[in-house]
């Protein structure tokens, strides 16, 4: 296994529920280090660019509307096998299919408003981290 970095987003529904701290606690309990974080309210252009791979999908407009409906928390998580382990903690895209104890089982209400995002591969993690953070904003832990 290798030390990896992955992009996490706490989506507007979960920020609205005031569970940023609860979700950060899950990340830290799972052994991830948060090496960058910022709260943002995405513009339509920013959300469209982030989800460009889904541009032709029927849910694209709704996804962009949702992701711009309120502030989000964006963070970079670092840890062993981070991309896959973070996806495991998140649970399935549709909360109805998410395993008990996952973030989406606990905090998501529907496939459209599903609380969290996580990169799905190392390549997308690198692209998504670069979409929101400069290299200088990624803080290596010194202690
Ligand atoms: P995410 O990118 O947000 O981490 O979610 P994911 O990988 O589990 O799912 P993905 O296929 O990348 O879809 C991105 C987001 O689009 C919404 N979606 N809606 N109505 C639908 O059939 C549908 N499918 C996807 C979800 O909010 C999903 O998180
Ligand atoms: Mg995805």
CA separation, residue 143 to residues 33, 138, 139, 140 (Å): 12, 15, 12, 9
| Cβ–Cβ under 8 Å, residues 77 and 33 | yes
pTM above 0.95, yes or no: yes
Handedness of CA 126, 127, 132, 134 (dihedral sign): positive
Q: Does the beta carbon of 118 sit less than 6 angstroms from any atom of ligand 1?
A: yes
| Cβ–Cβ under 8 Å, residues 126 and 7 | no
Nearest ligand to the CA atom of 6: 1
Question: What ipTM was estimated for this complex?
Answer: 0.93
117 among known catalytic residues: yes
Residues 71-125: pLDDT tens digits?
A: 999 999 999 999 999 999 999 999 999 999 999 999 999 999 999 999 999 999 9
Residues 6+ apart with CB under 8 A from 99: 91, 92, 105
Nearest protein Cα to ligand 1, atom 27: 112
Distance 54 CA to ligand 1 centre (A): 9
């Amino acid at each position: 296994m290798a030390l990896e970095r992955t992009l996490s987003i706490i989506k507007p529904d979960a920020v609205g529920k005031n569970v940023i701290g609860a979700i950060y606690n899950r990340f830290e309990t799972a052994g991830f280090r948060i090496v960058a974080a910022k709260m943002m309210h995405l513009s339509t252009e920013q959300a469209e660019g982030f989800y460009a791979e889904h541009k032709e999908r029927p849910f694209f407009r709704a996804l962009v509307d949702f992701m711009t409906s309120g502030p989000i928390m964006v963070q970079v998580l670092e840890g062993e096998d981070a991309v896959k382990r973070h996806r495991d903690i998140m649970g399935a895209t549709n909360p109805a299919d998410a395993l008990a104890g996952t973030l989406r089982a606990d905090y998501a209400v529907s496939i459209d408003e599903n609380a969290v995002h996580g990169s799905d591969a190392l390549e997308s993690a690198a692209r998504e981290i670069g979409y929101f953070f400069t290299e200088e904003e990624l803080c290596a832990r010194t202690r």
